[in-house]
Amino acid sequence: MSGPPQDERAQAAAVDRLLAQDPRNPRALIMKADLLQRAGDTRGALSHYQAALRVAPPAERLPADLARELARVREVCRQAAERYEQSLRARLGPLDPADRSVERFSHSLDILFGRRRIYHQEPRQFYFPGLPQVQFYPRQAFPWLDDVEAATDAIRAELLQVLQDEGAFTPYVQSAPGKPRIYGAAMLDNPSWGAFYLWKDGAAVAENAARCPRTMAALEGVPLNRLPNRSPSVLFSLLKPHTRIPPHNGLVNTRLICHLPLVVPPGCGFRVGNETRQWEEGKAWVFDDSIDHEAWNDSDQTRVILLFEIWRPELTEQERALVQAMFAAIDAEGGQKPAWEI
């Protein structure tokens, strides 16, 4: 069997010498990949194409000819990944999406094929290690939500009364004296994302709670997260038309956030990590807000949900008590009430 033509062997040798001197040279990696592709080594070619994409400079620093080459390489890799995914899924056969184990396995395939990113808990203030990385929790893990959902109509009726008071809602994220205005600048003091608190900083807001007795009653069986001077917070969260809450992470990962949708026009959505959902009125969900999340209202109407926070179910009673004691110690050390937000 004859080998490659002499000029191609010479070209391959020259490329190998160049890569020995500069293994991160994107042009040389592409040339090597093209040679391997012509020789029938598809796997070797793809590994070099992918390496070229990884080491290439940012787009704004690319010469025009190299940008064109990288665009070609990117398309080659995309087509190869698509063929590989189709082949692998065909070998696995159909999967039942209603099966919880299959659902998680399907998500792992999405990550494998680059359709999902990997997200982790990244609370901005306090991280409790060893807790599971769950974006949206299974609904059946919180049977007490049945009673909350059953009260949806009564809760909505109280909300509608509050909405008649134009001054009832305040901006969800508010600036504090002496604090830098760097976090959440797009929504800071912005009334498009509003809040009407029934509980705030760990205490009931008496006047507001008195206006919503049936809402307060619906939450009596809820394991609200309790931290001195901090939580629980219970509020109606309002998002005005054509408003987006930018991606952000919550303060701690020792709690979970619950949403009960009350007024939800079409065009509203919510993302936690790599999972996106649409609210359905009267259908609650529970999620980990220490994972990157965002919300939007692309409609011409206002969206409102009931929002409250609960303890993570994985924390033992002793662990909860230790977390409470730690925050109490922090407050004693600082000598003042903390600046806290939900």
CATH number at residue 328: 2.60.120.330
Same domain, 79 and 145: no
pLDDT digits over 148-158, tens only?
999 999 999 99
Is 0.85 surpassed by the pTM of this model?
A: no
User: According to the model, what pLDDT value does residue 93 have?
Assistant: 87
pLDDT greater at residue 130 or residue 4? 130
In a domain, 114, yes or no: no
Q: What is the pLDDT of residue 97?
A: 72
Whether residue 67 lies inside any domain: the answer is yes
Residue 122 lies in a domain: no
Structural domain boundaries enclosing 152: 139-334
Q: How confident is the model at residue 191 (pLDDT cuts 50, 70, 90)?
A: confident
pLDDT band at 319 (very low <50, low <70, confident <90, very high): very high
Residue 4's pLDDT is 60
Residue 116 scores a pLDDT above 80: yes
Are residues 79 and 190 both part of a single domain? no
User: Percentage of the chain surpassing pLDDT 70?
Assistant: 95
Q: Whose CA is closest to 184, among 271, 192, 257?
A: 192
Task: Judge if 316 and 206 occupy the same domain.
Answer: yes
Contacting residues for 196 by C-beta, under 8 A, at least 6 apart = 162, 168, 169, 170, 208, 235, 236, 238
Q: What is the mean pLDDT of residues 226-248?
A: 94
> Is pLDDT above 60 for 284?
yes
pLDDT at 25: 94
Measuring CA to CA, which residue among 39, 38, 36 is closest to residue 52?
Answer: 36
Per-residue confidence at 8, pLDDT binned at 50, 70, 90?
confident
- Per-range mean pLDDT, top range of 160-174, 292-306, 328-342: 292-306
Q: Is 106 within a domain?
A: no
Q: Are residues 38 and 160 in the same domain?
A: no
283 & 163 share domain: yes
Q: Where does the pLDDT of residue 63 fall: very low under 50, low under 70, confident under 90, or very high at 90 and above? A: very high
Asked if residue 170 and residue 231 are part of one domain, the reply reads: yes
Total domains in the chain come to 2
- DSSP strand pairing (170-171 vs 234-239): unpaired
Closest CA to 98 of 106, 88, 89, 90: 106
Average pLDDT score, the chain: 91
Can you tell me the distance from the alpha carbon of 122 to that of 288, in angstroms, rounded to the nearest whole number? 10
Indicate if 84 and 161 belong to the same structural domain: no
* Domain co-membership, 314 together with 195: yes
Whether residue 21 is found in the same domain as residue 165: no
| 3-state SS, one letter per residue, for the chain | CCCCCHHHHHHHHHHHHHHHHCCCCHHHHHHHHHHHHHCCCHHHHHHHHHHHHHHCCCHHHCCHHHHHHHHHHHHHHHHHHHHHHHHHHHHHCCCCCCCHHHHHHHHHHHHHCCCCCCCCCCCCCECCCCCCCCCECCHHHCCCHHHHHHCHHHHHHHHHHHHCCCCCCEECCCCCCCCCCCCCCCCCCCCCEEEEEEEECCEECHHHHHHCHHHHHHCCCCCECCECCCECCEEEEEECCCEEEEEECCCECCEEEEEEEEECCCCEEEEECCEEECCECCECEEECCCCCEEEEECCCCCEEEEEEEEECCCCCHHHHHHHHHHHHHHHHHHCCCCCCCC
Domain end, chosen from 28, 57, 92, is at 92
Predicted pLDDT at 1: 43
Q: How confident is the model at residue 179 (pLDDT cuts 50, 70, 90)?
A: low
In a domain, 149, yes or no: yes
Residue 266 located in a structural domain: yes
102 assigned to some structural domain? no
Looking at the structure, tell me whether residues 227 and 302 fall in a common domain: yes
Residue 167 and residue 292 in one domain: yes
Domain assignment present for residue 129? The answer is: no
Report pLDDT digits (tens) over 23-49: 999 999 999 999 999 999 999 999 999
CA dist., res. 299 & res. 286, Å (int): 24
**36 and 175 both lie in a single domain:** no
**Burial track 54-93 (b if 16+ CB lie within 10 A, e otherwise):** eebeeeeebeeebeebbeebeebbeebeeeebeeeeeeee
Of 92, 126, 157, the one marking the end of a domain is 92
Confidence at residue 5, expressed as pLDDT on a 0 to 100 scale: 67
CB 282 within 8 A of CB 149: yes
- Residue 60 is part of a domain; what is its CATH number? 1.25.40
